[in-house]
Amino acid sequence: MSTERGRGAGRTGRATFVGAGPGAADLLTIRAARAIADADVVIWAASLVHADVLQHARPDAEVVDSAALPMEGVEPYYRRARDEGLRVARIHSGDPSLWGAVQEQLDLCAELGLETEIVPGVSSFSAVAAIAGRELTVPEVAQSVILTRLGGGKTPMPEGEEVREFARHGTTMALFLSAARSGRLQQELLDGGYPPDTPCIVAYQATWPEELVVRCALGELEATVKEHRLWKHTLVLVGPALTAGGTRSHLYHPGHFHGHRRADRAARRELRASRGDG
């Protein structure tokens, strides 16, 4: 009996797609760390995921670097998991639901009859906001966050999802996979209506030891990206919320009430007056 069969005996095979977060191993969720620790086979991409996350793997786990493998190179591990009752942890950077190429793997596992699970991870846009000490949804400034990427790359964008069209909303945007074409990115954001002085945060390998986070105005975005020679592992945040302050959420206003707190009457009248409720 093989070692793999010994480990998988009596268990149902499963592929767990694990969100590794932005890079730092201690930003994995407890569930993610447990999934990696439980895995007989750990598949990760050295080009995207920081090696520190492998500290959660068992010493006897088979560790596979998928950076050079196409889907056809990963498929045999899913077949073994089904046939031998193995647990596979497929580690994805950030959150698997965002540009993770997970759906095609889920479809494959469904065809194979292999049980699957997805463990969400901290996305880099959340990590960058935390590093910068900013809230992306500031009352009366921005209450929406648009996650997208620049079109024209290796994967075509659906019609109507151009950066310039999203930029017309004027809210916070997080732009992935776009730093290599920073000139076009800057122009599309400007064409969409953001003023040249709109604040931007450019983050390279957020939470990694090599982390770099710089701030600039939108009109200086291309120059900033090129100055630091950024093209991979780089996220751009843009929008007025990145420097906004002085507003207040109604949630913690003494005039706001909910199921766990009664409103102060005087503060309630003040709040209603400020909203024009009469």
Query: For the chain, which domains are there?
Result: 14-122 (3.40.1010.10), 125-238 (3.30.950.10)
Work out the average pLDDT over 237-253.
80
- Return the pLDDT at 153: 74
pLDDT digits (tens, 9 = 90+) for 77-125: 999 999 999 999 999 999 999 998 999 999 999 999 999 999 999 999 9
pLDDT band of residue 269 (cuts 50, 70, 90) is: confident
- Return the pLDDT at 120: 98
* Residue 208 structure tokens: 């990694």
CA 265 → CA 205, 247, 252, 277, distances in Å? Answer: 49, 22, 15, 15
Work out the average pLDDT over 156-161.
90
Q: Which of 88, 143, 142 is nearest to 112 (CA)?
A: 88
How many angstroms separate the CA atoms of 19 and 108, rounded?
19
pLDDT band of residue 278 (cuts 50, 70, 90) is: low
Work out the average pLDDT over 243-270.
70
- Return the pLDDT at 2: 34
User: pLDDT at residue 75 above 60?
Assistant: yes
- Cβ neighbors of 73 (< 8 A, separation 6 or more) are 66
How many angstroms separate the CA atoms of 248 and 252, rounded?
8
Q: Across all residues in the chain, what is the average pLDDT?
A: 91
pLDDT digits (tens, 9 = 90+) for 250-262: 666 675 666 776 7
- Cβ neighbors of 220 (< 8 A, separation 6 or more) are none
pTM: 0.86
What are the backbone dihedrals phi and psi of residue 21, each rounded to the nearest 5 degrees, phi first?
Answer: 75, -170
248 φψ region: left (φ > 0), alpha (ψ -120 to 50), beta (else):
beta
- Return the pLDDT at 107: 97
Work out the average pLDDT over 39-45.
97
- Return the pLDDT at 113: 97
pLDDT band of residue 155 (cuts 50, 70, 90) is: confident
pLDDT digits (tens, 9 = 90+) for 174-190: 999 999 999 999 999 99
Percent of the chain with pLDDT over 90: 80
